[in-house]
Structure 1
Amino acid sequence: MFYKLNKKINKSIALILLMSVAFVSCYDDGYEEFVPPTGNINDIQPTTLFTSSTSADSNLELVFRSYSTDAVSYAWDFGDGGTSSEPNPDYTYTTGGLYQVNLTTTSSDGLVAQDSAKVAPIYADFSFSIIDSQVTFDNMSTGASSLVWDFGDGTTISWDAADGVTDPDFSPVHTYATAETFDVTLTATTFLGKEVTVTKKVEGLVLAAIPDFSFTTSSLTVTFTDASLLATSYSWDFGDGNTSADQNPVHTFATRGTYNVTLTITNSANVPRSITKAVPVGGVEPTFKAIVLNGTADVHTSDTGDNADAWDMTPNSTVKDDVLGTIDSPYRALWYNSDLDSWLESAFGDNSEQPGSSSDGNKFAGLGDRGVKLNEASRRLYQVVEVEVGVEYTFTIDSRSEAEGVNTEVFILNNEITSEDAINTEDERNKNADAYFLIDNDFNSSKASSSNDTFTTNTFTFKPSTTKVVIYVRALNAVDSSNEVFYDNIDIITPGF
């Protein structure tokens, strides 16, 4: 009984299982495989950033490294026109400077992220050339915001980009006092404040020879005495077609006159140096040098108005000096022509007969950076100078007019006139002036501080007939602020001094 019942139960279970399989098989006929969703389903914005560092091989080469989430493409813009699609590029700039670098990345979902930063690659280097103990440095750096030169002898100079590349400290010229070997260091600072240094040895210097000579005259014969330092050879040009290689020659000239005698010497490196002096022959030999006061207008800078006081016909009683403070005027006791001052005021209806002090001086002459100016028809340059009768002097003046036709008249007067009636006609001028010169070639609208060629140098010779002469300069067409005339380096050159 028990066995049969069990067999029947097993048959029932098998039937139920068979029906279940059939049902399931019928349901699976419409089934599709499950695919996970794609895209930025959580709306998460990717980010990107990068770092930069200078390569160990070159300060112009930068190493860029990106740190981005889910980036599949990279677009670098290095700020100088260069680009890259690499994840971590190394990039070399051709010129130093300050650049804005941009990185744009795109994720696998097509989302874009960006980052940017400034970089400052730099190239620091210099070359140099040597003449005697004078070294000319050629700065080849790019991308520097400032430079400091250390010449190795305790002397340093600096340059800043704000001063412009024409600054002489950018590529300086330095003269050494000894012939040692020096380590010269150039320190260049990037626009982001990083310092880069370059050091080179300067060696093989030779002390420069310094030419000089004196002379004595007896009729047409002149005895020359060498006073040079470190000279190894001598070459004289006497200005009359004759020459000599003697150290202390004696030369007889054929005729009277003033000759420009040039002595050229060389040092042990065979580098030449020359000096030229005016030598009067067969005439009056000067015993002292004529002194023009404040011919560069660079004295008394505490009050720039005092810079031109040496050229006023009625000088101030006091001036303000940078070192000494307020002092008695060194000019007032030497001349004070109130009569002429009054005449000019009456003739032109203007009580400003004195010249002005100007920052438009010929600063590249090595004598300062100020000058004097005439900016009205009534203004004059006026100075009394002690001289010797019969000596042949050379007068020199640098001038620049702002407009064509603003001509300058230069007189060397033999007395202090009381009105310009004494010089306005040729007959009167011949009586009262030992020399007259018209400057009509000095038009240049550029500022004197822009280059060393803006001033015109005018010279002429004269022989005074009295022991005191008056330098007298006028520009009747001068107009304030538009047709002004500027002067610098006014001097009377004494032969032999």
Structure 2
Amino acid sequence: MINKIINKFNRRFFTSCFMFLGLLSCVDNGYEEFVAPTGNVNNIQPNTLFTATTDADDDLSVVFRSYSTDAASYSWDFGDGNTSTEANPDYTYSTGGLYMVKLTTVSSDGLTAVDSSEVAPIYVDFDFTTIDSEVIFDNLSNGVSSLIWDFGDGVTVEWDVEDTEDDSDFNPVHIYATAETFEATLTATNFLGDEVSVSKNIEGLILSTVPDFTFEVSSFTVDFTDASLLAVSHSWDFGDDNSSTEVNPTHTFATSGTYNVTLTTTNEAGVSKSITKAVPVGGVEPTFKAIVLNGTADDHQTETGDNADAWDMTPNSTVVDDVLGTIDSPYRALWYNSELNGYIDETYCTDEQPGSSSDGSYVDGEKTRAVKLSSWCRRLYQVVAVEPGVEYTFTIDTRSEAEGINTEVFILNTEITTEVGIEDYADAYFTITNDFNSSKGSASDNTFTTNTFTFKPSSDKIVIYVRSLSAVDSSNEVFIDNIDIITPGF
């Protein structure tokens, strides 16, 4: 009985299994084999970043450290033509300066990331040689934007990269007044504003005299002024078989020419040193006439503003002429001092150019044009070619409409970029205080006052520079006319 039941169960079980397998064989599976994705599925961009730190033992060496996500390769460009494929290179520049460094990384997915930054390696050092108490410094530094020399005796000298390495303050010469030991310090600033200092002891100085002198020439007579250090006796050789032992002698030469004058000084220890300078006497003969452009302010009258263009520190590129109409400015090619113009504009001046006025002086009964200063910040500015050493006569007509409105006239030996310390660049300076006349006047009553003074330029170009800081509006303005430079013999 039991066998019958088991046989019956087995037949039903196997029948069910065959039916289930047959059903499965009739169904399509409908899918592909799963393959894991590769590459940057979410398009997430890798980042790269690096730091640059100057090596503590070498200011020309920079330690680079990268902080990059998923970087499989590195490409460094150090900005001086050299490269590296290291992840974290240490690099030494051969010369200091300002360099743009770029790091390019490539991720495992082939994506690129870039970072860049400036570095400013610097080298600071100096040598020196001594001659008695005079020290000649040899600056070995590079990659510097500015310098401060501290000679250790309270004297400092500053240098800026705009001065160029030809400037004497880059390799200064310093004279010590005592024979002590001094610590000289050179502090250099790189192009990112970081400072590095080097100090050295100045030893073995021998106290010695340092001869020097200045001179003023008036025709054939020369006044000599001693400027020596540590001198107890003086010996002058004027170069014409004459001599003197005075401290500050005056000597008259017999003929014109240039004489080599030698001053020998001796200190308390009996050490002597000499210096020789060329001294021109008898006056310098000019070879050409100094030309003042539009000193009468009468040219280019079609538009009154153009009458003052010759006196603008930033002349217009074109001006308006009576006959020719608009023409290229004859002044723009000779000077264009935008730096000084910007300096004056920084003081909130509306216009540094002088104005043009019909209230000029009279010629043959007719009133001419003039320029005017109607604001404290207006200036007259013109560059004129001259010859050093020639004695010129400067003449100018002015009229101020209020008392106390003084006008300053500078003859500068260079183009300045700021009025700070302007007196240091003046070969001559004159203040006009005698030109007050509030009336408009007439042809028979010329209201302008003429002032003249002489000057000797120290360079081959001078700048006529005129200002009136008390002329603040139209009620106290200053009118200026007939500006000229008289050249002897022309």
TM-score range, shorter chain: 0.3 to 0.5
TM-score w.r.t. length of structure 2 = 0.47
TM-score w.r.t. length of structure 1 = 0.46
